Amino acid sequence: MSVQTVYTVTGMTCGHCASSVTEELTGIEGVTDVAVDLASGAVTVTSATTLERDAVVTAVTEAGYQVTA
């Protein structure tokens, strides 16, 4: 069973931004896929189990961006 959660991330403007966020998020244990939509700022995280929101926020912050929703 996979869990998909969508977060809104601000500040991403290019492919490098998306790559940075994806790299940080895939480092979280249990994450199996990350899809970034630059136009909307939506980041869909697929994981084996429900993730702690704090872990996602920390990873996005490490990449230099901010989770707003």
Q: Over the stretch 18-68, which tens digit does the pLDDT of each residue have?
A: 999 999 999 999 999 999 999 999 999 999 999 999 999 999 999 999 999
Q: What is the CATH number of the domain that holds 62?
A: 3.30.70.100
* Confidence label for 69 from pLDDT (cuts 50, 70 and 90): confident
Give the total number of structural domains in the chain: 1
Q: In what order do the strands lie in the sheet with 3-10?
A: 31-37, 42-47, 3-10, 66-67
Quote the domain boundaries for residue 45: 3-67
Global pTM? 0.94
SS3 state of residue 2: coil
Q: What is the pLDDT of residue 1?
A: 80
